[in-house]
Structure formats: C-alpha cells, structure tokens
C-alpha cells in the first residue's frame, strides 16, 4: 500500500505579513448590474440595497477580508455582474 499523504508547503511566518493580510472593519459599497429582486437580495441580509438606474448598490459593514470575499462569492454564485467594490472612508460615510 502506498503512502497517500499530500505534501505541504514549507511553513511561513504569517505575523510578518499581518499588516498586509489584515483588512480593517469598514463600510463597503458593492455595485452590480441589474435590479435585484427580493430573492437575490435575501442573499445579502446585512447589506442595504439601493437602486441606481439599472444597477443595484449594496452598502454595509464588513468585518474583514473573509466577509468581503463571502459577499463576492455570493455575487458570483448568483451569476451577477460585479461592477465596483469600494471601501467608504470617514469622508464618504
């Protein structure tokens, strides 16, 4: 019987890159093409939707990079066309 272990990459020190990898809590706007209906909007319960012409703008607080990628994953899974992602600064909020 063969050894079926999967070789791992060498370890690295994440703490050296912590500032690069970390993303602060923030308010984001995410613009997608089209007017999302109730069913599609239910995938983003923590985001506030706003219609802007033929586009939907979702605005909400995202805790970290994982939360942002979660929203982007939902957009991709729903087959929506992502137009813009913007982190709002103190001036924009």
In this structure, what token pair is assigned to residue 15? Answer: 């703490």
What is the per-residue pLDDT for 82?
Answer: 96
User: Which domains can be identified in the chain, with CATH numbers?
Assistant: 24-88 (3.30.70.1150)
State the Cα–Cα distance between residues 29 and 49, nearest whole angstrom: 10
pLDDT band at 4 (very low <50, low <70, confident <90, very high): low
pLDDT score for 12:
47
Taking the C-alpha atoms of residue 72 and residue 66, their distance in angstroms, rounded to an integer, is 10
Lowest mean pLDDT across 9-23, 25-39, 70-84: 9-23
pLDDT band at 14; cut points 50, 70, 90: very low
Q: Encode pLDDT of 39-86 as tens digits.
A: 999 999 989 999 999 999 999 999 888 899 999 999 999 999 999 999
Given a cut of 60, whether residue 35 has pLDDT beyond it is yes
């Amino acid at each position: 019987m063969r050894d079926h272990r999967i070789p791992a990459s060498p370890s690295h020190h994440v703490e050296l890159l912590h500032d690069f990898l970390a993303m602060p809590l923030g308010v984001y706007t995410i613009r997608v093409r089209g007017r999302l209906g109730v069913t599609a909007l239910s995938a983003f319960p923590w985001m506030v939707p706003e219609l802007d012409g033929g586009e939907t703008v979702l605005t909400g607080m995202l805790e970290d990079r994982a939360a942002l990628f979660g929203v982007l994953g939902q957009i991709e899974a729903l087959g929506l066309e992502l137009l813009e992602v913007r982190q709002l600064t103190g001036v924009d909020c």
